[in-house]
Structure 1
Amino acid sequence: ALKHMWPGDLRAIFGTLHDLNSAVFGSGRKPFIFQEVIDMGGEPISASEYTGIGRVINFIFGVKLGQVFRNENKASNLHNWGEAWGMPNSNDVVVFIDNHDNQRGHGGGGGPLTHFEPRPYKLATAFMLAHPYGFTHLMSSYNFDRSNTDQGPPHNGDNINDVTINADLTCGNGWTCEHRWREIYNMVAFRNIVMGQNLQHWWDNGN
């Protein structure tokens, strides 16, 4: 977690990074930096202390969106999703539904949606990918016993299981691979097309 280092020290370290390979990325391009600073509000260390260095991971995003798609809040309230919900500026954040820590109740917790609730998880991820707020980050998991949050990846003896690919392009052999779910990879394609455009013509039925 970046909050264990002073922002000034990080700025000095990142300032020594070379530009990316111009043959691949073009001239003068810098590495993309995003930082884990868990800030659920009222934290002694604020994510805003680090936004001048690179994007920060927005942990509130997935928790609030999960509440909507669990029907704990109205979907119609998403009409002003983003900064109006008390979240940082869109250009300062990386957003996600869950990660390897909080899907196990660690690292921010807050009860995010996970692959164990596939229907609302797919809906929330689709909304995230359709909405212009933030730079999106997808999770790709393996199945684990929720009573044992320290359980490692699927394995056989001392060897981690290979990731097998099913006929429908999903993963098998104990791997979840949310990024391969049809609803999600189709929305990745959608986002790649509309990226940079504003949200227009919002409609809801009040629910």
Structure 2
Amino acid sequence: MTRPSRRARAARWLTPPAAAVLALTALAGCTGEPPDPATRPAADGSGHDVGVQLFQWTWDAVAAECTDELGPAGYAWVLVSPPQEHVVGAPWWTAYQPVSYRLESRLGTREQLAAMVETCHDAGVDVRVDAVINHMTGQDEPGTGWAGSSYEHYRYPGTWEEDDFHHCGLTPADDIVLYGDREQVQTCELVNLADLDTGASHVRERLTAYLEDLVGLGVDGFRIDAAKHMAAQDVGAVVAPLDDDVAIMQEVIRGSAEPVQPEEYVANGQVYEFTYGKEMAGVVAGSPGLALELGEASARYLPSDDAVVFVENHDTERNGSTLSYRAGTDDALATVLMLAGDYGTPQVYSGYAFDDVDAGPPQDDGGTVLDASCSADPGPQATPAPGDWVCQHRWPQVAGMVGWRGVVGDAEVRDTWSEGDAVALGRGQRGFVVVNLGDETLTTTLPTSLPEGDYCDVLSAADACARTTVHDGEIEVVVPPGSAAAWDVARTD
């Protein structure tokens, strides 16, 4: 399959819509003079960086979502769940127990995966894959995988034999017991998962071949699952043969005083900054002003260019270390704040409701995952039942901010303000956002660098304009409790 370059796909998304052209004309006034470049929507793709994790969505459902929602909203990339053959079972974590590297899973076939990638590219959306390369299964008894491959705990015919795995010998059951011991973390087993000897060159070469197979289908990047449990140089050796434009995002959970830290891995690509999501939960719990400081403390944050940030993901929404869909409005407003700021590369999360942390996505009687289906009016006010798709990426506050971020690009953060339960910030002369986490309507006038004129709130209904005026460097703000408003130079009245 021939795929267009990433630059070509980005250029397709960056073509300014008619509304933006009209807005620019309005901002120029009656003189016919072109507007100051600093007040034009970003045209260099610097704000087209938002990804979304569609957790446990089938390939067919992802393809449809790229066309209908992700591309039009301005999402740059989608992260999909592991595509390799896995153990059979209902829980979500079966996808994270590989049996072989055949691209046959309960989310779809190899052919469906390839078709999804092509469809998403046509919509201007890159596809990144969750790659499980640290381990194989955690099953003690022999079994048969989803696509019919037989396996034992340390034997996967045609793929791995027992000598291809670590047997650390440091703990009674070879499981990780002490995270303060680097050797345990990187050579012992994570909850009984057979740990591959990624220090062996032939093991690394086989893992590279798996990733190259996916790149051959058009995949644009990878989330390296459990990267912390592999030596940084081993991860580097696996991904080094890939093209330079293949995105790498590594899961390395930061732990206080632990020997393995995210900074070790930045030479291989970006790294998830878990500190951000954990501290964002504290921001919405009662310290909104701290949102303006997230990412600034070098002692606990990666440099911005190296970091992938998130409000929640599939693990943290289950272990309670971050917010989740259950937080409703707080979850939505935290995502607004993430997308408004300039720290890191943001990843939005979209999953399904559950009442059991092991519960898998909706499946048919044979175990095949059913295509995701969003409600007609998704939003934080909904109360989904277990098994319902939450579709956070479609929430109006979230989707609206993805487009807003595309307009402001890499404009600097300025005009920051915080008082009580509210916080505001501007991005150069291109955009301004206010978040009200309080229980009362916020009515005030704030300094802004937006050009003079009338603006529409991009988080309000798409077919209506909630008008706000900028005059003499100030903006009139009326934001109801538990809500946000955002304005940019691409949507004026």
Name the TM-score class by shorter chain: 0.7 to 0.9
Q: What does residue 344 of structure 2 align with?
A: 134
Q: Which residue identity does 2:291 align to in structure 1?
A: L
- Superposed counterparts of 1:144-159, under 5 Å: 144-145=354-355, 148-158=356-366, 159=368
CA distance in 1 between counterparts of 2:391 and 2:375 reads 11
SS at match of 1:196: coil
Mapped pair 1:97 → 2:319: no
1:168 deviation in Å? 3.1
Fraction of identical pairs, as percent: 35
- Number of matched residues? 189
Task: Render the CA deviation track for 1:149-184: whole Å, top value 9, x for unaligned.
Answer: 101112343353332243336798711111011111
SS at match of 2:308: strand
Q: Could you say which structure has the higher helix fraction?
A: 1
CA distance in 2 between counterparts of 1:206 and 1:168 reads 31
Mapped pair 1:192 → 2:192: no
1:66 deviation in Å? 0.7
CA distance in 1 between counterparts of 2:327 and 2:378 reads 20
CA distance in 2 between counterparts of 1:167 and 1:88 reads 39
Q: What does residue 41 of structure 1 align with?
A: 256
CA distance in 2 between counterparts of 1:99 and 1:80 reads 22
CA distance in 2 between counterparts of 1:117 and 1:77 reads 19
CA distance in 1 between counterparts of 2:230 and 2:290 reads 37
CA distance in 2 between counterparts of 1:65 and 1:113 reads 8
Which one is further off, 186-195 or 126-135?
A: 186-195
CA distance in 1 between counterparts of 2:313 and 2:243 reads 29
Mapped pair 1:168 → 2:377: yes
Mapped pair 1:4 → 2:212: no
Task: Render the CA deviation track for 1:9-66: whole Å, top value 9, x for unaligned.
Answer: 22222221135xxxxxxxxxx1111100011322220111001211110111111011
Q: What does residue 82 of structure 1 align with?
A: 295
Q: Which residue identity does 1:154 align to in structure 2?
A: P
Structure 1: segments with no counterpart, 5+ residues: 20-29
CA distance in 2 between counterparts of 1:169 and 1:206 reads 29
1:206 deviation in Å? 5.2
Q: Could you say which structure has the higher strand fraction?
A: 2
1:200 deviation in Å? 0.8
Q: 2:278 aligns with which of 63, 88, 91?
A: 63
CA distance in 2 between counterparts of 1:156 and 1:12 reads 40
Mapped pair 1:177 → 2:385: no
CA distance in 1 between counterparts of 2:338 and 2:318 reads 21
CA distance in 1 between counterparts of 2:369 and 2:334 reads 30
Which one is further off, 159-168 or 184-193?
A: 159-168
The 1:175–1:78 alpha-carbon spacing in structure 2 relative to 1, beyond 3 Å, is closer
Q: Is the 8 A contact 1:40 1:60 kept in 2?
A: no
**TM-score between the two structures when normalised by the length of structure 1:** 0.83
CA distance in 1 between counterparts of 2:234 and 2:373 reads 43
CA distance in 1 between counterparts of 2:274 and 2:239 reads 23
Task: Render the CA deviation track for 1:105-150: whole Å, top value 9, x for unaligned.
Answer: 1xxx52x1100111100010000000000000111110111xx210
Q: 1:17 aligns with which of 236, 242, 246?
A: 242
The 1:162–1:15 alpha-carbon spacing in structure 2 relative to 1, beyond 3 Å, is closer
Q: Which residue identity does 2:344 align to in structure 1?
A: G
Structure label with greater radius of gyration:
2
**TM-score between the two structures when normalised by the length of structure 2:** 0.36
CA distance in 1 between counterparts of 2:375 and 2:391 reads 11
CA distance in 2 between counterparts of 1:75 and 1:133 reads 16
Q: Is the 8 A contact 2:253 2:273 kept in 1?
A: yes
Structure 1 segments of 4+ aligned residues over 4 angstroms from their partners:
169-173
SS at match of 2:297: helix
Q: Is the 8 A contact 1:132 1:195 kept in 2?
A: no
CA distance in 2 between counterparts of 1:40 and 1:185 reads 32
The 1:4–1:40 alpha-carbon spacing in structure 2 relative to 1, beyond 3 Å, is closer
CA distance in 1 between counterparts of 2:339 and 2:231 reads 32
